[in-house]
Amino acid sequence: MDATTTPLRSKSARVAAWFVLFCALALVAAQRLQLGLCSDARHAVLRELVRAPEPAQVVFVGSSQTARGVIPEVFDARAAELGTSVRSVNLSFFGTSRQLAYLTLERWLDAHPDTKCAYVECGVLSDNQDFPHEALSRFETPSDALSLALSQPYDVRNAREFKRRKDHPPTFDPLGAFTRIERFQLHAELSLEALGRGPEDCVRALFNLAVQRGASLYWMPHEPTLGSVIDSQLSERGYYRIMPDSPLGIGGKAGVTKQAAAVSYENALAATFKDVDDFGDPSRFRATKLYAERIAALCKTRGVRLVFLDQPNFRGRPLRPSQVAYYSQLAELFQQDKSVLYREDSFQDSGHMSVVGAEFASKALAAHFVGAEKK
């Protein structure tokens, strides 16, 4: 090594030190301002809900199906009519996979140990979905990101891993060594991505500022805080609903009409899962099952009653027989009454309930909850 220029005294070392410092500052700024959330304010709303000090006895966790399909205020009111005073909170949002549900529930229970019952969505959407960018914005601190690599708590079934598994099916995997290595690698990469997102978030915020002519750092017109979002909804409709109804919903009403034409009411009620029932396949749904079991264990240790909640699609795919068997042996499984729900006005699109459907479903859930309480 050259004796005259040592690495530590070099310009390169100074550049590297400044680079790390700037990245760290950008990360801190992005985290404090929640810039990483600028693409979607709902995550911040959720975070605020989890942190909110008000106690609640019932919590709903799931994907947009539950976010749109359960109205806590309706649930609470119906439970009160049936003689049980209860406060519920819906922590569901778009694209929530099982591992995110676990993370959300764990944090909720940490903050609210007096919770009695948790309804956790299962079914076609929540058993399949996971997107890393959804997960990343849930990490609040760099230590969250680091914990990914160190403890590997999440066996992520995201698009990248899905592709990896498709490209490299686990045909040869002695003692599961390769799966372990690849899993570590995936988590290490995710944590590095989370740690390095500061500059990217700052650039996005600058872009937002430019596009909105200096009005906001965020892509959404409002800041990702609980107050503004919830207050506006409370004043508008009297209750908070995380996914407001929209005529431009996924597929929209046209999807419902099309599905209604394709599948008759009677056939839909009688329908069973017609695709390959691959839920029992050990190489698929591994993470989903792992986290369902973790959720069950978490609820058991915290003394919380766990109910898996099957939210229906409009005349669409029901739970597979093996899914029903699996969730039933793990905890209680509640399936919504499709004979009432399979009406066009109950659905906003073929996967999500409208306010009408959600009001019915929330009341049914309240009846289920009160019934179980009285037992």
Q: Which residues of this protein are in contact with other proteins, per CB under 8 A?
A: 1-2, 5-7, 10-12, 14-23, 26, 164, 167-169, 172-173, 177-178, 181-182, 185, 188-189, 192-193, 195-204, 207
Task: Return the number of the residue (199 or 244) whose C-beta is nearest other proteins.
Answer: 199
Nearest distance, CB of residue 134 and other proteins, angstroms: 14
Residue of 118, 113, 115, 121 lying closest to 93 (CA atoms): 121
Shortest gap between Cβ of 32 and other proteins (angstroms)? 17
Q: How many residues does the chain have?
A: 375
**13 vs 340 by CB, closer to other proteins:** 13
Smallest separation, CB 17 to other proteins (Å):
8
- Exposure string of 262-282, with b = 16+ CB inside 10 Å and e = fewer, is ebeeeebeeeebeeeeebeee
Q: For other proteins, which is the closer residue by CB, 71 or 202?
A: 202
Question: Least CB distance from residue 12 to other proteins, whole Å?
Answer: 4
Q: Pick between residue 177 and residue 248 the one whose CB is nearest to other proteins.
A: 177
Given the complex with other proteins, which of 17 and 297 has the nearer CB atom? 17
CA distance 208 to 190: 25
Q: Give least dist CB 196 to other proteins, A.
A: 4
Tell me how far apart the alpha carbons of residues 201 and 207 are, in angstroms, rounded to a whole number.
10
Nearer to other proteins, 136 or 324 (CB): 136
- Please state the closest distance from residue 294 (CB atom) to other proteins, in A: 25
* Least distance between other proteins and beta carbon 45 (Å): 23
CB of 304 to other proteins, least distance (A): 37
Distance CA 295, CA 33 (A): 31
Of the candidates 140, 164, 156, the residue with the CA atom closest to the CA atom of residue 188? 156
Q: How far apart are the first and last CA of the chain?
A: 78
Is the CB of 114 or the CB of 178 nearer to other proteins? 178
DSSP annotation of 239 reads: S
Q: Which residues contact 189 (CB under 8 A, 6 or more apart)?
A: none
Return the exposure string of 71-105: e unless at least 16 CB atoms fall within 10 Å of the residue's CB, then b: bbbbbbbbbeebebebebbbbbbbbbbbbbbbbbb
Q: Which is nearer to other proteins, 48 or 161 (CB)?
A: 161
Query: Pairing mode, if any, of strands 332-335 and 305-310?
Result: parallel
**CB burial readout 343-360, b (16+ within 10 A) else e:** bbebbbbbbbbbbbbbbb
